[in-house]
């Protein structure tokens, strides 16, 4: 009895303290809570477990999670979905001594119930407001299902399409990647982290994960500091500037130091230099994996190394939970390091409003409304159309006439559902996740009563079976035009989905060959999570649409583009190689001392004897159903000093017969500098809608910031020199050129 009274008094005291603290800043509130915490409870806040719902990594069996949550030994759960399930875990957390709420994290990478195109596809839209909106909708749906925190955006620059995770990022360019990174952070987090429809962003994977040797996932990374600063870090910095709440570190080692134990990355750059105030979570089990790296001898050393290097939360390796308290007691870890990590997490819990109402995200009414919202589906359809890249269009076969009597729709992806979602779709237990418009259904929705759609599968995505070819050929023979839908399976790209051969798999290109032999025009849809190699298709198909994985509304989005209800405007965010042997291939390479100018001359220059030096499709490339002309380039000045700026203008005209959008791209090149500079680097772009015959004056502004780079001392600065300015429709299709000088 006496015990109960003492217990009650203690809780009252705790509550009073927290309540008084509520009038204070979140920083002060976190301090107040921190003062009440035992060492065990502090370590608990740094501990994140996977719920048993689903797994996105190697599972550790642990039957004791419920008790640990009740005892305040868990700070966060991942893969807990649904307002009911999150509520019941939170109720357990509310039984703990200090009632510190849990945060629920989830990989909401491209939509939640409404699946949007994979991030690489969205990046192809170069449409920042649309990308931000896609993240906003994902957050609205996820937050209604109890999720507080998404492990996105993934902002890793990727120059190697063998790496399966290229599908998850924004491609190869640091400038475009930075703008998209900021747009996604703002989209997820909304106006204010405390809003019920805002989820915390988690920017990942810090850092340089996309440069894994050989494109093999989780592999080592070895790169110069200059390349790190210039190419790989900018999207992370942009995310910090956009207010990202959290970061995730990466599985790779960087120049011999695993990222999770990398003091230079996490403390020196992120927390000190960039002033990041949020917290850093490890990747799944990666603290424990320090042993596999050969960086530490056991999990005790792993926990110490990770915490000291700035990792604040341990996802699923139990290294912090099992070792940190003892490390502190043994004097091996300063308690202030633990306090700092705990406080960073508590502050976010306060900012999210979870101390005021731990259940604010777990509301079944809101969940039902948010997960069945036609406006979200409409936005996903528009985003799907915006993401499709038109790579080829012989004889302007596209857009397809609505007067065709018979259209053959052939291929292994025509009727598939789940493939359209792409890797990292969220499957929501208990919720109808088969909400996908197949490509077949999309076309059926579109065609008029005078057109009939004929179908044959033709072949599988993988394997050598050609038994369906003859049926496909006979269907093609009956039709006016053939549409062939081929590509990868959804799980051929994504985490741990690296491929050494990135051709279109199986016998799909052979099927195309047979269909072309009928003499019918063949429009090819290529579905994939990465740039593929498809030289036969590129040469022989009548038209090609690169459709990536487009999500719930794939079928409708594709039909909109095929029939011209949407005029394609997307541009490749990654270079498409002509062969695997060219990889890594990217547009912003250096010139070298012996540049090759063509593929014929191999005399002591930087070329291949047996392969072109040029990509199949360059960065920034994408056709439209109309044409654009670029004229009247005017620079306000031919030179500027460090404080000046130059205004650049030109006239963009839609010279075709259909309204359309063009992404006009501005590239710059410093003719010489204290370090070697790329042959061109994207510095600005504008996406402009023009009606047929319409012209608009487009303006770019060039100031010192646009001309700056990490110099030989790794200082962000500009150097006086001559600059080449290039404006074009892709990184290779340069339409206007000029030069100017930057003076001291």
Binding-site ranges for ligand NOJ (CB under 6 A): 56-57, 78, 107, 151, 204, 283-284, 495
The structure tokens 């025009």 sit at 521
Q: Kindly state the tokens that stand for 37.
A: 């915490």
Residue number, 82 or 494, with CB nearest to ligand NOJ: 494
CA atoms within 13 A on the CB side of 187: 28
In angstroms, give the least distance from the CB of 59 to ligand NOJ: 12
Residue number, 230 or 283, with CB nearest to ligand NOJ: 283
DSSP state of 402: T
What residue is closest to ligand NOJ based on CB?
56
In angstroms, give the least distance from the CB of 385 to ligand NOJ: 28
Q: Kindly state the tokens that stand for 477.
A: 């023979």
In angstroms, give the least distance from the CB of 496 to ligand NOJ: 9
Let me know: does 588 contact 679? Beta carbons within 8 Å: yes
In angstroms, give the least distance from the CB of 256 to ligand NOJ: 21
In angstroms, give the least distance from the CB of 733 to ligand NOJ: 35
Residue number, 151 or 625, with CB nearest to ligand NOJ: 151
Report which of 318, 315, 311, 321 is spatially closest to residue 341, judged by C-alpha positions.
311
Burial 218-248 (b: 16+ CB within 10 A, else e): bbbbeeeeeebbbbbbbbbbbbbebebbbbb
Residue number, 284 or 546, with CB nearest to ligand NOJ: 284
Distance CA 650, CA 675 (A): 31
In angstroms, give the least distance from the CB of 278 to ligand NOJ: 16
Residue number, 159 or 497, with CB nearest to ligand NOJ: 497
C-alpha dihedral over 690, 692, 693, 699, to 10 degrees? Answer: 10
The structure tokens 């990536």 sit at 548
Distance CA 149, CA 168 (A): 17
Helices (H) then strands (E): counts for the chain: 23, 26
Burial 56-82 (b: 16+ CB within 10 A, else e): bbeeeeeeebeebbbbbbbbbbbbbbb
- Alpha helix segments (H runs only) across 332-487: 335-351, 364-370, 374-387, 439-446, 469-478
The residues near 222 (Cβ < 8 Å, ≥ 6 apart) are 213, 254, 255, 256
In angstroms, give the least distance from the CB of 248 to ligand NOJ: 6
Residue number, 154 or 664, with CB nearest to ligand NOJ: 154
Q: Kindly state the tokens that stand for 115.
A: 């699946």
E strand residue ranges, 575-621: none
Residue number, 56 or 373, with CB nearest to ligand NOJ: 56
Report which of 185, 102, 93 is spatially closest to residue 139, judged by C-alpha positions.
185
Residue number, 149 or 740, with CB nearest to ligand NOJ: 149
Distance CA 437, CA 415 (A): 9
In angstroms, give the least distance from the CB of 282 to ligand NOJ: 10
Q: Is 272 helix (H, G, I), strand (E, B) or coil?
A: helix
- CA 457 from chain centre, in angstroms, equals 32
Residue number, 236 or 628, with CB nearest to ligand NOJ: 236
In angstroms, give the least distance from the CB of 152 to ligand NOJ: 8
In angstroms, give the least distance from the CB of 264 to ligand NOJ: 21
In angstroms, give the least distance from the CB of 105 to ligand NOJ: 8
Tally of CB atoms within 10 A around 705: 11
Greatest pairwise CA separation for the chain in angstroms: 93
Residues labelled catalytic: 283
Residue number, 55 or 658, with CB nearest to ligand NOJ: 55
Distance CA 137, CA 129 (A): 12
Report which of 283, 272, 132, 169 is spatially closest to residue 218, judged by C-alpha positions.
283
Residue number, 155 or 354, with CB nearest to ligand NOJ: 155
Distance CA 234, CA 205 (A): 13
Burial 126-160 (b: 16+ CB within 10 A, else e): bbbebbbbbbbbbbbbbbbbbbbbbbbbbbbbbbb
Q: If phi over 0 gives left and psi between -120 and 50 gives alpha, with beta otherwise, what is residue 649? A: beta
Residue number, 122 or 283, with CB nearest to ligand NOJ: 283
Distance CA 256, CA 404 (A): 60
Q: Kindly state the tokens that stand for 275.
A: 């002033």
Q: Is 133 helix (H, G, I), strand (E, B) or coil?
A: helix
Identify the burial level of 604 via C-beta atoms within 10 angstroms of its C-beta, where 0-12 means exposed, 13-18 middle and 19 or more buried.
Answer: exposed
Q: Kindly state the tokens that stand for 49.
A: 């477990």
Residue number, 53 or 605, with CB nearest to ligand NOJ: 53
Distance CA 680, CA 59 (A): 45
Q: Which helix (H) or strand (E) holds 175?
A: helix 174-189
In angstroms, give the least distance from the CB of 143 to ligand NOJ: 18
Report which of 717, 721, 722, 724 is spatially closest to residue 738, judged by C-alpha positions.
724
In angstroms, give the least distance from the CB of 261 to ligand NOJ: 17
């Amino acid at each position: 009895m006496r015990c109960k009274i003492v217990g009650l008094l203690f809780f009252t005291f705790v509550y009073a303290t927290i309540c008084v603290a509520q009038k204070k800043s979140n920083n002060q509130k976190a301090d107040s809570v921190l003062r009440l915490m035992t060492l065990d409870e502090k370590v608990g806040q740094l501990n994140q477990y996977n719920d048993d719902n689903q797994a996105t990594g190697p599972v550790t069996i642990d039957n004791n999670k419920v008790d640990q949550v009740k005892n305040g030994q868990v700070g966060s759960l991942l893969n807990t979905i649904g307002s009911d399930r999150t509520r019941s875990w939170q109720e357990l957390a509310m039984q703990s001594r200090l009632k510190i709420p849990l945060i629920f994290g989830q990989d909401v990478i491209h939509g939640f119930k409404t699946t949007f195109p994979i991030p690489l596809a969205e990046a192809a839209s170069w449409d920042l407001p649309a990308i931000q909106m896609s993240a906003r909708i994902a957050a609205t749906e996820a937050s209604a299902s109890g999720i507080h925190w998404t492990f996105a955006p993934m902002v890793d620059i990727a120059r190697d399409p063998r790496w399966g995770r290229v599908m998850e990022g924004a491609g190869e360019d640091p400038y475009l990647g930075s703008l998209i990174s900021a747009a996604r952070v703002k989209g997820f987090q909304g106006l204010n982290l405390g809003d019920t429809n805002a989820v915390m962003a988690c920017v990942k994977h810090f850092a340089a994960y996309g440069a894994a040797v050989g494109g093999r996932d989780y592999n080592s990374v070895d790169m110069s500091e200059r390349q790190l600063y210039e190419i790989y870090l900018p999207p992370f910095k942009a995310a910090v500037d956009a207010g990202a709440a959290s970061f995730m570190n990466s599985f790779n080692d960087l120049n011999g130091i695993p990222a999770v134990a990398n003091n230079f990355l996490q403390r020196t750059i992120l927390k000190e230099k960039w002033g990041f105030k949020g917290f850093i979570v490890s990747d799944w089990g990666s603290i424990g994996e320090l042993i596999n790296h050969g960086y530490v001898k056991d999990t005790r050393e792993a926990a110490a190394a990770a915490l000291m290097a700035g990792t604040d939360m341990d996802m699923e390796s139990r290294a912090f939970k099992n070792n940190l308290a003892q490390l502190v007691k043994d004097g091996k870890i300063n308690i202030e390091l633990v306090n700092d990590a705990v406080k960073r997490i508590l502050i976010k819990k306060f900012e999210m409003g979870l101390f005021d109402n731990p259940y604010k995200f777990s509301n079944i009414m809101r969940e039902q409304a948010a997960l069945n919202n036609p406006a979200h589906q409409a936005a996903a359809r528009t985003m799907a159309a915006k993401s499709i890249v038109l790579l080829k269009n012989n004889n302007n076969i596209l857009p397809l006439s609505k007067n065709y009597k018979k259209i053959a729709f052939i291929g292994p992806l025509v009727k598939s559902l789940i493939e359209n979602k792409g890797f990292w779709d969220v499957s929501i237990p208990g919720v109808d996740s088969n909400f996908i418009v197949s490509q077949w259904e999309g076309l059926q929705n579109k065609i008029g009563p005078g057109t009939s759609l004929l179908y044959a599968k033709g072949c599988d995505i993988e394997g050598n079976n050609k038994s369906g070819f003859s049926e496909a050929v006979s269907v093609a023979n009956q039709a006016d035009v053939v549409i062939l839908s081929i590509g990868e399976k959804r799980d051929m790209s994504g985490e741990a989905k690296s491929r050494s051969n990135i051709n279109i798999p199986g016998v799909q290109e052979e099927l195309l060959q047979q269909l072309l032999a009928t003499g019918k025009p063949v429009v090819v849809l290529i579905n994939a999570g990465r740039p593929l190699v498809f030289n036969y298709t590129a040469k022989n198909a009548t038209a090609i649409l690169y459709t990536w994985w487009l999500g719930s509304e794939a079928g409708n989005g594709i039909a909109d583009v095929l029939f011209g209800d949407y005029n394609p405007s997307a541009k490749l965010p990654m270079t498409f190689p002509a062969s695997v042997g060219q990889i890594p291939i990217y547009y912003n390479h250096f010139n070298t001392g012996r540049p090759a100018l063509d593929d014929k001359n191999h005399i002591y220059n930087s070329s291949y004897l047996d392969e072109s030096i040029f990509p199949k499709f360059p960065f920034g490339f994408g056709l439209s159903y109309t044409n654009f002309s670029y004229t009247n380039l005017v620079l306000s000045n031919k030179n500027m000093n460090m404080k000046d700026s130059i205004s650049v203008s030109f006239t963009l005209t839609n010279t075709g017969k259909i309204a359309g959008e063009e992404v006009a791209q501005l590239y710059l090149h410093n003719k010489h500098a204290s370090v070697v500079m790329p042959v061109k680097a994207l510095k600005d772009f504008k996406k402009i809608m023009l009606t047929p015959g319409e012209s608009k004056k487009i303006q770019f502004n060039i100031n010192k910031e646009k001309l700056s780079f990490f110099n030989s001392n790794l200082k962000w600065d500009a150097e006086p020199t001559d600059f080449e300015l290039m404006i074009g429709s892709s990184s290779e299709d340069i339409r206007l050129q000029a030069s100017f000088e930057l003076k001291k």
